[in-house]
Amino acid sequence: MQGFKTGGRKSGIPNRITTKLKDELSEHLETYIETQFNEDWNELTARERVRVALSISQLLVPKPLPEPPLEDEKPNFIEVRIVRPDGTTEDWNKRNKE
C-alpha cells in the first residue's frame, strides 16, 4: 500500500534535524565570511575567483523555470501564397493537400 502515511512526522512540519543543521551551517558560514573570507579570497588566482563567484551565484540566483507555451499564441496554420511575376497567386496549402 503506497502513498498511505501511517506514522512519523506530520505533513508540513519541518524536520528538526535538518532545521538545526541549516541553522548551524548558516551561523558558521556567517562567521567565516565576517572573519576569514576576504583573506582567502585575496589568496586566490583570478581564475579561481571567477570559479568561486560563478559557483556562489548559482546558489544565490535561482534557475529560471521554463515558460509553458501559451495556447492563444500558437497559430492554427500557416498560410503560404505563391505570387508569380505576372501577379497571379496560388494557395500553396491547397495545392499540397490534394
pLDDT for 51 equals 95
Enumerate the H helices of the chain as residue ranges: 16-35, 37-43, 46-60, 92-97
For residues 87 and 77, is the Cβ–Cβ distance under 8 A? no
Please list the pLDDT of the chain residue by residue as tens digits (98 residues): 566 667 676 777 777 778 888 889 999 999 999 999 999 999 999 999 999 999 988 888 888 888 877 766 666 677 788 888 888 888 876 655 65
| Every domain of the chain and the residues it spans | 16-97
Looking at every residue in the chain, the average pLDDT score rounds to 81
Q: Is 12 left (phi over 0), alpha (psi -120 to 50) or beta?
A: left
Label the pairing between strands 89-91 and 81-83.
antiparallel
